[in-house]
Amino acid sequence: MDKPSSISDADWRARLSPEQYRVARQGGTERPFSGEHYLRTERGDYHCICCGSLLFHSDTKFDAGCGWPSFWAEAAGERIKRLRDTSHGMIRVEVRCASCDAHLGHVFPDGPEPTGERYCINSVCLSFKPAD
């Protein structure tokens, strides 16, 4: 894959579905309870739809009942960056792929132990690779 920072907007549009582009590259949100990974229970890894970077492992996924895939921890390493989000009249923490800057979703401080965090992630921003 090309270095993500060298990929043009037109190339992102060509590589991604319209919904993937809207959410991952434009910071949108998919409808709750609509994503393919929301109810997924298989063992495996979740990768960025844009650049393929490993983001989450299935053993940190849990059902938060919020309508989006939820994880209590990211994969080891600095794979996700956090940004202050003041849109929609509230203060939240947006999460983006550290490799390609794709919008993934948000992280909230109401998750289970051991982290107490809930990464609320748009399914369209993820690809799933089953465990061997």
Q: Is 97 a catalytic residue?
A: no
Is residue 9 classed as helix, strand or coil in its secondary structure? Answer: helix
Whole-angstrom distance between the N-terminal and C-terminal Cα of the chain?
Answer: 24
User: Do residues 30 and 20 touch, judged by C-beta distance below 8 A?
Assistant: no
Q: How far is CA 91 from the centre of its chain?
A: 19
Query: What is the DSSP secondary-structure string of 40-102?
Result: ---SEEEEETTT--EEEEGGGEE--SSSS-EESSPPSSS-EEEEEE-GGGS-EEEEEETTT--
User: Do residues 26 and 18 touch, judged by C-beta distance below 8 A?
Assistant: no
User: Which is the catalytic residue, given 50, 51, 100, 120?
Assistant: 120
Catalytic residues: 120
